[in-house]
Structure 1
Amino acid sequence: MDTLLTWVIDSLNATALNGFVMDNRFVFPLLEMSHFMGLCLLFGSLLVVDLRIVGLARSVPIDRVDVFVRFALIGFAINLVTGLLFIVGDSDRYLVNNAFWAKMGLIVLAGLNTAYFVRRIKPQMDAGVTSADLIGGAHVIAWLSLIIWSCIIILGRFIPYVEDL
Protein backbone atom coordinates (compact mmCIF):
# COMPACT_ATOMS: atom_id res chain seq x y z
CA MET A 1 0.00 0.00 0.00
CA ASP A 2 1.17 3.52 -0.76
CA THR A 3 2.95 5.26 2.11
CA LEU A 4 0.82 8.40 1.79
CA LEU A 5 -2.36 6.33 1.93
CA THR A 6 -1.02 4.42 4.94
CA TRP A 7 -0.21 7.70 6.66
CA VAL A 8 -3.72 9.08 5.95
CA ILE A 9 -5.37 5.91 7.26
CA ASP A 10 -3.19 5.86 10.38
CA SER A 11 -3.87 9.56 11.00
CA LEU A 12 -7.63 9.12 10.67
CA ASN A 13 -7.57 6.03 12.89
CA ALA A 14 -5.80 8.06 15.61
CA THR A 15 -8.50 10.74 15.80
CA ALA A 16 -11.09 11.04 18.54
CA LEU A 17 -13.79 11.13 15.86
CA ASN A 18 -12.68 7.69 14.66
CA GLY A 19 -13.00 6.38 18.19
CA PHE A 20 -16.42 7.97 18.58
CA VAL A 21 -17.71 6.40 15.35
CA MET A 22 -16.19 2.95 15.83
CA ASP A 23 -16.35 2.51 19.61
CA ASN A 24 -19.95 3.58 20.19
CA ARG A 25 -22.30 0.77 19.20
CA PHE A 26 -25.08 3.17 18.21
CA VAL A 27 -23.16 5.63 16.03
CA PHE A 28 -22.35 3.49 12.99
CA PRO A 29 -25.90 2.09 12.66
CA LEU A 30 -27.27 5.64 13.06
CA LEU A 31 -24.92 6.82 10.32
CA GLU A 32 -26.05 3.95 8.09
CA MET A 33 -29.71 4.83 8.59
CA SER A 34 -29.07 8.53 8.02
CA HIS A 35 -27.05 7.80 4.88
CA PHE A 36 -29.89 5.66 3.54
CA MET A 37 -32.49 8.34 4.32
CA GLY A 38 -30.33 10.97 2.65
CA LEU A 39 -29.97 8.72 -0.37
CA CYS A 40 -33.74 8.24 -0.55
CA LEU A 41 -34.25 11.98 -0.41
CA LEU A 42 -31.54 12.63 -3.00
CA PHE A 43 -32.41 9.91 -5.50
CA GLY A 44 -36.18 10.20 -5.06
CA SER A 45 -36.04 13.92 -5.77
CA LEU A 46 -33.69 13.48 -8.73
CA LEU A 47 -36.01 10.81 -10.08
CA VAL A 48 -38.90 13.28 -10.23
CA VAL A 49 -36.75 16.05 -11.76
CA ASP A 50 -35.03 13.83 -14.33
CA LEU A 51 -38.15 11.94 -15.34
CA ARG A 52 -39.97 15.26 -15.76
CA ILE A 53 -37.20 16.55 -18.02
CA VAL A 54 -37.37 13.48 -20.26
CA GLY A 55 -41.12 13.98 -20.60
CA LEU A 56 -42.51 11.70 -17.91
CA ALA A 57 -44.08 12.83 -14.61
CA ARG A 58 -46.03 15.40 -16.61
CA SER A 59 -48.31 16.17 -13.68
CA VAL A 60 -45.40 18.10 -12.12
CA PRO A 61 -45.18 21.57 -13.68
CA ILE A 62 -41.68 21.95 -15.09
CA ASP A 63 -41.20 25.35 -13.45
CA ARG A 64 -41.98 23.79 -10.02
CA VAL A 65 -39.33 21.07 -9.94
CA ASP A 66 -37.07 23.44 -8.03
CA VAL A 67 -38.77 22.15 -4.87
CA PHE A 68 -37.42 18.69 -5.66
CA VAL A 69 -33.97 20.10 -6.46
CA ARG A 70 -33.87 21.58 -2.94
CA PHE A 71 -34.74 18.21 -1.40
CA ALA A 72 -32.05 16.57 -3.52
CA LEU A 73 -29.51 19.06 -2.14
CA ILE A 74 -30.61 18.32 1.42
CA GLY A 75 -30.24 14.59 0.75
CA PHE A 76 -26.80 15.14 -0.74
CA ALA A 77 -25.72 17.19 2.28
CA ILE A 78 -26.84 14.40 4.63
CA ASN A 79 -24.90 11.87 2.56
CA LEU A 80 -21.83 14.08 2.42
CA VAL A 81 -21.68 14.40 6.21
CA THR A 82 -22.43 10.74 6.92
CA GLY A 83 -20.08 9.60 4.17
CA LEU A 84 -17.22 11.64 5.60
CA LEU A 85 -17.93 10.15 9.02
CA PHE A 86 -17.81 6.65 7.48
CA ILE A 87 -14.40 7.44 6.01
CA VAL A 88 -13.02 8.86 9.25
CA GLY A 89 -14.52 6.03 11.27
CA ASP A 90 -13.52 3.12 9.04
CA SER A 91 -10.79 4.39 6.74
CA ASP A 92 -9.21 0.90 6.64
CA ARG A 93 -12.28 -0.32 4.74
CA TYR A 94 -13.00 2.64 2.50
CA LEU A 95 -9.71 4.19 1.43
CA VAL A 96 -8.30 0.92 0.09
CA ASN A 97 -11.46 -0.18 -1.72
CA ASN A 98 -11.83 -0.11 -5.53
CA ALA A 99 -15.63 0.23 -5.39
CA PHE A 100 -15.28 3.21 -3.04
CA TRP A 101 -12.91 5.03 -5.42
CA ALA A 102 -15.10 4.23 -8.43
CA LYS A 103 -18.07 5.61 -6.48
CA MET A 104 -16.13 8.80 -5.66
CA GLY A 105 -15.21 9.22 -9.33
CA LEU A 106 -18.85 8.91 -10.33
CA ILE A 107 -19.88 11.41 -7.66
CA VAL A 108 -17.46 13.90 -9.23
CA LEU A 109 -18.99 13.14 -12.64
CA ALA A 110 -22.48 13.58 -11.16
CA GLY A 111 -21.35 16.94 -9.76
CA LEU A 112 -20.19 18.07 -13.22
CA ASN A 113 -23.49 16.88 -14.69
CA THR A 114 -25.36 18.83 -12.00
CA ALA A 115 -23.29 21.96 -12.62
CA TYR A 116 -24.21 21.80 -16.31
CA PHE A 117 -27.87 21.28 -15.36
CA VAL A 118 -27.87 24.30 -13.02
CA ARG A 119 -26.12 26.52 -15.54
CA ARG A 120 -27.88 25.54 -18.78
CA ILE A 121 -31.11 23.63 -18.11
CA LYS A 122 -32.53 24.98 -14.84
CA PRO A 123 -32.86 28.60 -16.09
CA GLN A 124 -35.00 27.35 -18.98
CA MET A 125 -37.17 25.38 -16.59
CA ASP A 126 -37.58 28.42 -14.33
CA ALA A 127 -38.75 30.35 -17.38
CA GLY A 128 -41.48 27.75 -17.99
CA VAL A 129 -40.02 26.10 -21.10
CA THR A 130 -41.71 22.73 -21.66
CA SER A 131 -39.59 19.58 -21.43
CA ALA A 132 -39.99 19.03 -25.18
CA ASP A 133 -38.54 22.49 -25.89
CA LEU A 134 -35.57 22.40 -23.52
CA ILE A 135 -32.27 22.91 -25.31
CA GLY A 136 -28.69 22.14 -24.35
CA GLY A 137 -29.01 18.36 -24.21
CA ALA A 138 -31.49 18.39 -21.33
CA HIS A 139 -32.73 14.88 -22.05
CA VAL A 140 -29.17 13.53 -22.21
CA ILE A 141 -28.28 15.29 -18.94
CA ALA A 142 -31.36 13.83 -17.23
CA TRP A 143 -30.67 10.27 -18.44
CA LEU A 144 -27.00 10.63 -17.45
CA SER A 145 -28.07 11.74 -14.00
CA LEU A 146 -30.28 8.70 -13.56
CA ILE A 147 -27.60 6.32 -14.83
CA ILE A 148 -24.75 7.86 -12.82
CA TRP A 149 -26.70 7.93 -9.54
CA SER A 150 -27.92 4.37 -10.07
CA CYS A 151 -24.30 3.28 -10.53
CA ILE A 152 -23.27 5.23 -7.42
CA ILE A 153 -25.89 3.35 -5.40
CA ILE A 154 -24.74 0.00 -6.80
CA LEU A 155 -21.07 0.77 -6.10
CA GLY A 156 -21.98 1.79 -2.55
CA ARG A 157 -23.51 -1.64 -2.03
CA PHE A 158 -20.37 -3.27 -3.52
CA ILE A 159 -18.01 -1.67 -0.99
CA PRO A 160 -18.32 -4.43 1.65
CA TYR A 161 -17.77 -7.14 -0.98
CA VAL A 162 -15.00 -5.81 -3.24
CA GLU A 163 -11.32 -6.62 -2.81
CA ASP A 164 -8.86 -4.00 -1.62
CA LEU A 165 -6.49 -2.11 -3.91
Structure 2
Amino acid sequence: MKNKLQKITTNLWFDTQAEEATRFYTSIFENSKVGRITYYGNVGKEIHGMSEGKVMTIEFELEGQSFVALNGGPQFKFTEAISFIIHCESQDDVDYYWEKLSQGGDENAQACGWLKDQFGVSWQIIPGNISEMINTSDPETSARVMKALYKMKKIDIQTLNQAYSG
Protein backbone atom coordinates (compact mmCIF):
# COMPACT_ATOMS: atom_id res chain seq x y z
CA MET A 1 0.00 0.00 0.00
CA LYS A 2 1.07 3.62 -0.32
CA ASN A 3 3.10 5.23 2.41
CA LYS A 4 0.84 8.29 2.39
CA LEU A 5 -2.40 7.68 4.26
CA GLN A 6 -5.53 8.30 2.21
CA LYS A 7 -7.83 10.77 4.00
CA ILE A 8 -10.96 8.64 3.58
CA THR A 9 -10.94 4.85 3.24
CA THR A 10 -13.97 2.70 2.52
CA ASN A 11 -14.52 -0.13 5.00
CA LEU A 12 -16.48 -3.13 3.77
CA TRP A 13 -17.95 -5.32 6.54
CA PHE A 14 -18.27 -8.96 5.57
CA ASP A 15 -19.44 -11.85 7.72
CA THR A 16 -16.47 -14.14 6.98
CA GLN A 17 -15.80 -13.50 3.27
CA ALA A 18 -13.19 -10.68 3.41
CA GLU A 19 -10.47 -12.80 1.81
CA GLU A 20 -12.76 -14.15 -0.91
CA ALA A 21 -14.14 -10.69 -1.69
CA THR A 22 -10.67 -9.14 -1.81
CA ARG A 23 -9.46 -11.81 -4.25
CA PHE A 24 -12.60 -11.32 -6.35
CA TYR A 25 -12.34 -7.53 -6.58
CA THR A 26 -8.58 -7.42 -7.18
CA SER A 27 -8.96 -10.00 -9.97
CA ILE A 28 -11.39 -7.72 -11.81
CA PHE A 29 -9.61 -4.37 -11.64
CA GLU A 30 -6.32 -4.22 -13.50
CA ASN A 31 -4.90 -1.49 -11.27
CA SER A 32 -5.30 -3.26 -7.94
CA LYS A 33 -3.23 -4.65 -5.10
CA VAL A 34 -3.54 -6.28 -1.72
CA GLY A 35 -1.86 -4.69 1.29
CA ARG A 36 -1.62 -5.50 4.98
CA ILE A 37 -3.56 -8.30 6.56
CA THR A 38 -4.39 -8.33 10.28
CA TYR A 39 -5.53 -11.33 12.30
CA TYR A 40 -7.77 -11.82 15.29
CA GLY A 41 -6.09 -12.69 18.56
CA ASN A 42 -7.48 -13.78 21.90
CA VAL A 43 -7.92 -10.18 23.08
CA GLY A 44 -11.56 -9.15 22.67
CA LYS A 45 -12.78 -12.63 21.74
CA GLU A 46 -15.77 -12.13 24.05
CA ILE A 47 -16.72 -9.17 21.84
CA HIS A 48 -15.79 -10.25 18.30
CA GLY A 49 -16.29 -14.02 18.75
CA MET A 50 -13.70 -14.85 16.07
CA SER A 51 -11.15 -17.59 16.51
CA GLU A 52 -7.52 -16.67 17.02
CA GLY A 53 -5.63 -16.49 13.73
CA LYS A 54 -8.70 -15.71 11.57
CA VAL A 55 -8.23 -12.81 9.18
CA MET A 56 -9.66 -9.64 10.72
CA THR A 57 -8.89 -7.06 8.01
CA ILE A 58 -7.33 -6.90 4.57
CA GLU A 59 -6.25 -3.60 3.03
CA PHE A 60 -6.60 -3.46 -0.72
CA GLU A 61 -6.66 -0.91 -3.51
CA LEU A 62 -8.75 -0.66 -6.68
CA GLU A 63 -7.88 1.98 -9.26
CA GLY A 64 -6.14 4.13 -6.64
CA GLN A 65 -9.00 3.90 -4.11
CA SER A 66 -8.15 2.32 -0.76
CA PHE A 67 -10.46 -0.18 0.91
CA VAL A 68 -10.45 -2.32 4.02
CA ALA A 69 -12.30 -5.64 4.05
CA LEU A 70 -13.33 -6.70 7.56
CA ASN A 71 -14.46 -10.12 8.72
CA GLY A 72 -16.85 -8.68 11.28
CA GLY A 73 -19.58 -11.28 11.61
CA PRO A 74 -23.19 -11.50 10.44
CA GLN A 75 -24.62 -8.44 12.26
CA PHE A 76 -24.53 -6.03 9.30
CA LYS A 77 -25.48 -6.48 5.65
CA PHE A 78 -24.89 -4.37 2.56
CA THR A 79 -27.79 -2.42 1.06
CA GLU A 80 -28.31 -0.48 -2.15
CA ALA A 81 -28.15 2.72 -0.10
CA ILE A 82 -24.40 2.64 -0.79
CA SER A 83 -22.98 1.74 -4.18
CA PHE A 84 -19.72 2.06 -6.07
CA ILE A 85 -19.82 3.80 -9.43
CA ILE A 86 -17.58 2.64 -12.25
CA HIS A 87 -17.27 5.26 -15.00
CA CYS A 88 -16.72 3.48 -18.31
CA GLU A 89 -15.22 4.86 -21.50
CA SER A 90 -16.69 2.27 -23.86
CA GLN A 91 -19.31 -0.44 -24.23
CA ASP A 92 -16.50 -2.99 -23.91
CA ASP A 93 -15.73 -1.54 -20.44
CA VAL A 94 -19.42 -1.67 -19.46
CA ASP A 95 -19.68 -5.27 -20.68
CA TYR A 96 -16.48 -6.32 -18.90
CA TYR A 97 -17.36 -4.90 -15.48
CA TRP A 98 -21.00 -6.00 -15.74
CA GLU A 99 -20.04 -9.59 -16.60
CA LYS A 100 -17.37 -9.85 -13.89
CA LEU A 101 -19.21 -8.14 -11.03
CA SER A 102 -22.60 -9.73 -11.68
CA GLN A 103 -21.21 -13.31 -11.53
CA GLY A 104 -23.11 -15.02 -8.73
CA GLY A 105 -24.92 -11.79 -7.87
CA ASP A 106 -28.59 -11.00 -7.45
CA GLU A 107 -30.18 -10.76 -10.92
CA ASN A 108 -33.31 -9.23 -9.38
CA ALA A 109 -31.24 -6.26 -8.20
CA GLN A 110 -30.25 -5.20 -11.73
CA ALA A 111 -31.65 -2.01 -13.22
CA CYS A 112 -30.44 1.15 -14.95
CA GLY A 113 -26.78 0.11 -14.78
CA TRP A 114 -26.99 -1.07 -11.15
CA LEU A 115 -26.09 -4.57 -10.04
CA LYS A 116 -25.53 -6.40 -6.78
CA ASP A 117 -22.52 -8.72 -6.65
CA GLN A 118 -22.22 -12.11 -4.95
CA PHE A 119 -21.33 -10.44 -1.63
CA GLY A 120 -24.32 -8.08 -1.70
CA VAL A 121 -22.28 -5.00 -2.66
CA SER A 122 -24.02 -2.67 -5.15
CA TRP A 123 -22.25 -1.27 -8.20
CA GLN A 124 -23.26 1.20 -10.90
CA ILE A 125 -21.64 0.46 -14.26
CA ILE A 126 -22.21 3.63 -16.27
CA PRO A 127 -20.74 5.59 -19.17
CA GLY A 128 -18.48 8.45 -18.15
CA ASN A 129 -20.71 11.01 -19.87
CA ILE A 130 -24.07 9.92 -18.37
CA SER A 131 -24.20 12.97 -16.11
CA GLU A 132 -23.82 15.30 -19.10
CA MET A 133 -26.59 13.49 -20.97
CA ILE A 134 -29.00 13.63 -18.04
CA ASN A 135 -28.15 17.14 -16.86
CA THR A 136 -28.37 18.83 -20.25
CA SER A 137 -30.07 22.22 -20.40
CA ASP A 138 -32.66 20.77 -22.81
CA PRO A 139 -35.40 19.03 -20.78
CA GLU A 140 -36.62 17.04 -23.81
CA THR A 141 -33.16 15.58 -24.38
CA SER A 142 -32.83 14.71 -20.71
CA ALA A 143 -36.26 13.05 -20.75
CA ARG A 144 -35.34 10.94 -23.80
CA VAL A 145 -32.14 9.76 -22.13
CA MET A 146 -33.93 8.93 -18.87
CA LYS A 147 -36.69 7.08 -20.74
CA ALA A 148 -34.06 4.95 -22.51
CA LEU A 149 -32.11 4.43 -19.28
CA TYR A 150 -35.14 3.21 -17.32
CA LYS A 151 -35.64 0.38 -19.86
CA MET A 152 -32.13 -1.01 -19.34
CA LYS A 153 -30.53 -3.42 -16.93
CA LYS A 154 -26.99 -3.28 -18.30
CA ILE A 155 -26.23 0.05 -19.96
CA ASP A 156 -26.21 0.19 -23.76
CA ILE A 157 -24.14 3.26 -24.60
CA GLN A 158 -25.22 3.38 -28.25
CA THR A 159 -28.91 3.48 -27.27
CA LEU A 160 -28.24 6.28 -24.75
CA ASN A 161 -26.26 8.23 -27.37
CA GLN A 162 -29.13 7.84 -29.85
CA ALA A 163 -31.62 9.09 -27.25
CA TYR A 164 -29.33 12.01 -26.48
CA SER A 165 -28.97 12.92 -30.19
CA GLY A 166 -32.72 12.71 -30.76
Give TM-score scaled by structure 1 length: 0.29
TM-score, length of structure 2 as denominator length:
0.29
